Structure 1
Amino acid sequence: MGLRLVDKGHNSKRMVVFVAIFLITTLFILYNSNSANDSYEAFKMVGYKSATKNTDLKKWAGKDGYIPVFGNKSLTLHCSQCALVTSSSHVLGTGAGAEIDHAECVIRMNDAPTAGFEADVGNKTSLRVVAHSSVIRLVRKPQEFLNCSDCPSVIFWGPPTKIGRDAKGTLYRLIHRAAMTYTNLTTFAVTPSKMRKFDTLFYKETGRDRQKSQSWLSTGWFTMVIAIEICDNIKVYGMVPPNYCGRHPQPKRMPYHYYKPRGPDECVTYLTNERGRRGNHHRFITEKQVFSRWAKLYNISFVHPTW
């Protein structure tokens, strides 16, 4: 009798182990049978919620939120047709340079160069939107970005503690010195009040508090809003759609920036930032979901790739 009980006990344990292994194996198969797009859907549902009422960005805040770094100039740029050129490697090999230069206004980001890439990204620049983290890279190449006879406008954005007039820190001094030295350049900084409005806009459009969700707004976010403010029609070059990195099979490896061929992979950068919960991250995919909704409201089209 005692032996039978022992055997039954062993059989019960074996059955429990077998069931556990079966369940784990089943879950593993189900998980891996889902496409990367399903994984994308999972974190998309967690992060993004459409606003119940669209913000009219044409009436959102005007251009009074951009103050001159030096002098008393005002931002008067207005264009009927704009080309917004991203830093993405997708612009390479497109031969879109002439088309971009033909646009009334050409908007670029941070320290994305044109020299050596003219065939694909053009040479004309009407406005450059620069993050505080890119200021040093910009001033290191004054001949390319600052010293020009027909200079573009530059809008610097960043925490007031870094680029604001009251900051008096290294970045503020660099920006102010560049504005004083290269007087053909029209330089502006986003005011603290407008920086807060950018945060509010992110919350209204996504349902996520930027700071509580540990997010940094990207230069793309600022640039897109500014483009909507000053342009009647916008053609965006090189921006991938929100679901691009969730496609199956996975897209081929592409450098994040067209001018840094050995830089990080584009999709790895997007997915790592979107999923990141420790430290602050850009929510690139969430932002692109908003852009796709704005496209229907503000005459925005996307090319290379087209979506």
Structure 2
Amino acid sequence: MACPRPFSHPRTSCFSLLMSLSFLICTAGTGPWCDLTSLPPGPPAGRWPLPLSRRRKEMSSNKEQRSAVFVTLFALITILILYSSNSANEVFHYGSLRGRLRRPVNLKKWSITDGYTPILGNKTLPSRCHQCVIVTSSSHLLGTKLGPEIERAECTIRMNDAPTTGYSADVGNKTTFRVVAHSSVFRVLQRPQEFVNRTPETVFIFWGPPSKMQKPQGSLVRIIQRAGLAFPNMEAYAVSLGRMRQFDDLFRSETGKDREKSHSWLSTGWFTMVIAVGLCDHVHVYGMVPPDYCSQRPRLQHMPYHYYEPKGPDECVTYIQNEHSRKGNHHRFITEKRVFSSWAQLYGITFSHPSWT
């Protein structure tokens, strides 16, 4: 019997599994029918053969027992296949599921008003830019001299605490939107001269789970509001609870994996890309590597994960560890990049430095 192709287990082969199941069933006291090639035993020496009707009855009984064995084995194997394919601890292979998934709701139709709640004042998030650029925090931007090109963009989007001071020749200064994770709030607010005063036109979009953003004591929203009192021109919004659920649902529909059950956090890059698609007619992303980059990069080449942390962790080490870790909470960076690649033509997204689609 051929091993069913969907079944896969890191430690047990299909053959040994079948043998183990057969042994367990046969040793459960079911008798000689476990030998599927055996016939009913002949009569002892010196005795008349059993009547034909009785022999037929015994053979019929053996056939029924054999059928029961096959049905039991089939049921057990089916259960194991289903268990293996749904295991929350397996490493998720994105490519094996992508083709079977339905296209999600058009991101261009997501409401801007309902998705972002003002933290300071009663303003509404600016709803449209024709041409946007996303400046990633990648060290691939170092030495590119892209600053003047980025400055000319209609809207410029940056992430977390990526600075421009000292790096403007490569990454520019202009910052229309800055998307900030709950884990980076303090790093941003502790440097107001860099992130608030340097580019006073910046609109901040903060995201985080309700347990972090709205907890009764030490609420990050309250901290941001206090910062707004010190800097009256600061404009800030929080991703609404309903929109946070939409981000999770989008990840599940695109990848087939539930974020929480797969022990992962959506990255700020994921939030930034979806926000940009909703706000902008066209998006140009600088510095993001393609999903297969780390499998092709020379092993001895070291590239810092962030352009502003030259002695920080290597980018590919960070990507691979996060992608394949099954304990704790990690970002599925490579999986997210595969999704972005599928969106490129659909939503008018261009990638450069390096260039890919």
Q: TM-score range by the shorter chain?
A: 0.7 to 0.9
**What runs of 5+ residues in structure 1 fail to find an aligned partner?**
1-41
Q: 1:251 to 1:202 in 2, by over 3 A?
A: farther
Letter in 1 for 2:112: G
Question: Partners in 2 of 1:238 and 1:231 — Cα distance?
Answer: 19
User: What is the CA–CA distance in structure 2 between the aligned matches of 1:123 and 1:276, rounded to whole Å?
Assistant: 36
Q: Give CA deviations for 1:141-184 in whole Å, capped at 9, x if unaligned.
A: 011112357321000000111113x6442523321111222121
Query: Would you say the 8 A contact 1:63–1:229 is kept in 2?
Result: no
RMSD (Å) for aligned C-alpha atoms: 1.8
Query: What displacement does 1:246 show?
Result: 1.0
1:268 and 2:317 aligned: yes
Aligned mates of 1:157, 1:128 — CA distance in 2: 11
Equivalent residue for 2:249?
A: 200
SS state at 2:114 partner: coil
SS in 1 for 2:308: coil
How many angstroms apart in 2 are the aligned matches of 1:76 and 1:45? Answer: 34
Distance 1:47 1:274, change over 3 A: farther
Partner residue of 1:141 out of 185, 188, 191: 191
Q: In the alignment, which of 132, 135, 146 is matched to residue 85 of structure 1? A: 135
Number of the residue aligned with 2:221: 172
The answer to whether the 8 Å contact 2:285/2:351 transfers is yes
Following superposition, the deviation at residue 134 of structure 1 comes to: 0.4
Question: Could you say which residue in structure 1 is the equivalent of 2:123?
Answer: 73
For 1:107 and 1:216, how far apart are their aligned partners in 2?
21
User: TM-score under structure 1 normalisation?
Assistant: 0.82
| Structure 2: gaps spanning 5 or more residues | 1-90
Q: Which amino acid aligns with 1:206?
A: T
Counterpart residue number, 2:98: 49
| Corresponding residue of 2:336 | 287
Map of 1:188 onto structure 2:
237
Identity of aligned residues (%): 58
3-state SS of 1:106 partner: strand
Q: What residue is the counterpart of 1:220 in the other structure?
A: 269
Please tell me whether the aligned partners of residues 47 and 208 of structure 1 are also in contact (alpha carbons under 8 angstroms).
no
CA contact (8 A) 1:148 1:184 kept: no
**Map of 1:160 onto structure 2:** 210
User: In 1, are the aligned partners of 2:104 and 2:250 still within 8 Å (CA)?
Assistant: no
Q: Does 1:252 align with 2:301?
A: yes
Change (3 A) 1:167 1:193: farther
Contact 2:139–2:287 (CA<8 Å) still a contact in 1?
yes
1:235 counterpart (257, 272, 284): 284
For 2:193 and 2:96, the matched residues in 1 are separated by 42
Deviation at 1:221, TM superposition (A): 0.1
Residues 1:54 and 1:268: Cα distance change in structure 2 (over 3 Å): same
1:120 alignment partner, one of 154, 170, 176: 170
Tell me if structure 2 keeps the 8 A contact 1:149–1:184. Answer: no
Cα distance change on mapping 1:255 and 1:60 into 2, 3 Å: same
8 Å CA contact 2:263–2:329 kept in 1: the answer is yes
> Structure 1 167/159 Cα, relative in aligned 2: closer, same or farther at 3 Å?
farther
CA distance in 1, matches of 2:261, 2:232: 40
Offset of residue 49 of structure 1: 2.7
Flag as ranges the 4+ runs of structure 1 deviating above 4 A.
Answer: 45-48
Alpha-carbon separation, structure 2, partners of 1:216 and 1:55: 21
Q: Which amino acid aligns with 2:103?
A: K
Count of matched residue pairs:
265
Higher relative contact order (CA 8 A, sep 6+): 1
Name the SS of the counterpart of 1:235 in structure 2. strand
Taking the aligned partners of 2:177 and 2:97, their CA distance within structure 1 comes to 30
Cα 1:263–1:112 change in 2 (3 A) is same
Shift of 1:43: 5.7
- The Cα offsets for residues 200-259 of structure 1, whole Å up to 9 and x where unpaired, read as 010011111000000100000000000000000110000000000111643721110000
Is the Cα–Cα contact under 8 Å of residues 256 and 263 in structure 1 kept in the other structure? yes
In 2, distance between residues paired with 1:230 and 1:58? Answer: 8
Residue-by-residue CA offset, 1:74-105 (whole Å, 9 max, x unaligned): 10242100110000001111111100010000
